[in-house]
């Protein structure tokens, strides 16, 4: 049997991130073959990943990758914010984003079988990361833009990601607009994108808020008042109608017009949106453990 040296154990530990004793056992089980030992640990990692699969993952990060006018956002969730800030987790999600860009995967499910730069699949890398960091992780969402227009990808604090496609303009304007979308979260792009049902409901609400005296005004005057209120509301919920965050004296529409540009569309992801977080009762958990 091959000698299991300290340097061999150290090399395997650096390569896999597994614990010292686990690495020694893996090498012993595989007669000192470091490649076989790494695979052995990977399989052990898969087993650990399965045990954690039912844990809620509502934290995590958004990462972006871009190559010219092609860009992606990827959301990977973890159980805690502590792990989401770990350097290993950040490196993992950055590599996943790059794999998403390179592979052309259409969604998170397809991304699982995409190859990483290391040669392993994203799903294999996820399982290894779970084994290393000790938490469940899920590759939840993927957003992509692949176009001949200008594209910007912007990440704010690792928790908000934006992709924006711009016809005309330049990279600086596209990035500024992506920052605006991250900050202001417009539900719609232009006024024409706002659903008619929304406008009708807002008209109904504004009428209900009016006094009898206001409602008694001539029909044309009343219509102008209502239209003014609705236009203000529509501006608040559209990118084009909002004051531009980098120059609040102008609306986004005015900035675009001056640049001869048009926003074709945008996508915005926020970590954990739509996931119901579990509130942990640690006192109850400890009490239950004491009874075992």
pLDDT digits (tens, 9 = 90+) for 113-128: 999 999 999 999 998 8
The domain spanning residue 39 has which CATH number? 1.10.8.10
Q: Is residue 265 part of a domain?
A: no
For 183, the token pair is: 């900050």
SS3 153: strand
Q: How confident is the model over 162-170, as a mean pLDDT?
A: 96
Shortest CA distance to 75 belongs to which of 157, 136, 121, 140? 140
Question: Which pLDDT does position 236 carry in this prediction?
Answer: 94
Higher-scoring residue by pLDDT: 124, 58: 124
Each residue's pLDDT tens digit, 230-260: 999 999 999 999 999 999 999 999 999 999 9
Each residue's pLDDT tens digit, 76-88: 999 888 989 999 9
Q: Rounded to the nearest 5 degrees, what angle is found at the Cα of 71, between the Cα atoms of 194 and 64? A: 100
Q: Is residue 57 part of a domain?
A: yes
DSSP state of 218: -
Q: Is residue 192 part of a domain?
A: no
Q: How confident is the model over 281-286, as a mean pLDDT?
A: 48
Q: Is residue 15 part of a domain?
A: yes
Domain hosting residue 23, numbered range: 6-51
Q: How many C-beta atoms lie closer than 10 Å to residue 163's C-beta?
A: 24
Residues 42, 84 within the same domain: no
Residues 94, 41 within the same domain: no
Q: Is residue 88 part of a domain?
A: yes
Question: Which pLDDT does position 133 carry in this prediction?
Answer: 86
Residues 6+ apart with CB under 8 A from 148: 69
Residues 37, 76 within the same domain: no
Q: Which of 11-20, 43-52, 226-235 has the lowest mean pLDDT?
A: 43-52
Looking at the DSSP bridge assignments, the partners of residue 70 are 67, 146
Residue by residue, DSSP assigns 219-275 as HHHHHHHHHHHHHHHHHHTBTTTSEETTEEEEEHHHHHHHHT-EEEEEEEEETTTTP
Band of pLDDT at residue 58, cut at 50, 70 and 90: low
Residues 14, 89 within the same domain: no
Whose tokens are 């219509």? That residue is 223
Question: Which pLDDT does position 10 carry in this prediction?
Answer: 83
Q: How confident is the model over 89-107, as a mean pLDDT?
A: 96
Question: Which pLDDT does position 289 carry in this prediction?
Answer: 45
DSSP state of 143: E
Residues 47, 57 within the same domain: no
Higher-scoring residue by pLDDT: 219, 98: 98
User: Among 146, 179, 200, where does a domain finish?
Assistant: 146
Band of pLDDT at residue 50, cut at 50, 70 and 90: very low
For the cut 90, the answer to whether the pLDDT of residue 292 exceeds it is no
Q: Is residue 105 part of a domain?
A: yes
Each residue's pLDDT tens digit, 125-162: 998 898 888 888 999 999 999 999 999 999 999 999 99
251 backbone φψ class: left, alpha, beta (φ>0; ψ -120 to 50): beta
Residues 99, 132 within the same domain: yes
The domain spanning residue 80 has which CATH number? 3.30.479.20
Q: Is residue 240 part of a domain?
A: no
Higher-scoring residue by pLDDT: 2, 127: 127
Residues 65, 141 within the same domain: yes
- Rounded CA separation 151/157 (Å): 20
Band of pLDDT at residue 227, cut at 50, 70 and 90: confident
User: Among 146, 165, 196, where does a domain finish?
Assistant: 146
Residues 6+ apart with CB under 8 A from 90: 61, 63, 158
Band of pLDDT at residue 164, cut at 50, 70 and 90: very high
Q: Are 139 and 74 in contact (CB under 8 A)?
A: yes
Domains identified in the chain, total number: 2
Each residue's pLDDT tens digit, 19-35: 677 788 888 988 889 88
- Rounded CA separation 209/44 (Å): 64
Q: What is the 3-state secondary structure (H, E, C) of 72-128?
A: EEEEEEECCHHHHCCHHHHHHHHHHHHHHHHHCCCCHHHHCCCECCCCCEHHHHHHH
Residues 123, 78 within the same domain: yes
Residues 105, 135 within the same domain: yes
For 7, the token pair is: 């340097």
């Amino acid at each position: 049997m091959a000698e299991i040296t300290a340097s061999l154990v150290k090399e395997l530990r650096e390569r896999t991130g597994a614990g010292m004793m686990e690495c020694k056992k893996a090498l012993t089980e595989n007669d000192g073959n470091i490649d076989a030992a790494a695979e052995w640990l990977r399989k052990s990692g898969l087993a650990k990943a399965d045990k954690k699969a039912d844990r809620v993952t509502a934290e995590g990060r958004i990462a972006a990758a871009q190559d010219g006018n092609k860009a992606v956002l990827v959301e990977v969730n973890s159980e805690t914010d502590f792990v989401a800030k770990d350097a290993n987790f950040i490196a993992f999600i950055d590599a996943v984003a790059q794999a998403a860009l390179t592979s052309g995967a259409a969604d998170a499910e397809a991304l699982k079988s995409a190859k990483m730069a290391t040669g392993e699949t994203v799903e294999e890398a996820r399982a290894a990361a779970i084994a290393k960091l000790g938490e469940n992780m899920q590759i939840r969402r993927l957003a992509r833009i692949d176009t001949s227009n200008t594209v910007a990808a912007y990440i704010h604090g690792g928790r908000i990601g934006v992709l924006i496609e711009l016809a005309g303009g330049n990279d600086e304007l596209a990035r500024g607009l992506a920052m605006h979308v991250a900050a202001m979260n417009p539900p719609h792009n232009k006024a024409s994108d706002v659903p008619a049902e929304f406008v009708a409901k807002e008209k109904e609400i504004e009428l209900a808020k009016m006094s009898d005296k206001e409602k008694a005004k001539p029909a044309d005057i009343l219509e102008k008042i209502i239209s003014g209120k609705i236009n203000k509301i529509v501006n608040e919920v559209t990118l084009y109608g909002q004051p531009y965050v980098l120059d609040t004296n102008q609306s986004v529409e005015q900035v675009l017009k001056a640049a001869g540009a048009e926003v074709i569309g945008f996508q915005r992801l926020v970590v954990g949106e739509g996931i119901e977080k579990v509130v942990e009762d640690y006192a109850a958990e400890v009490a239950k453990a004491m009874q075992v």
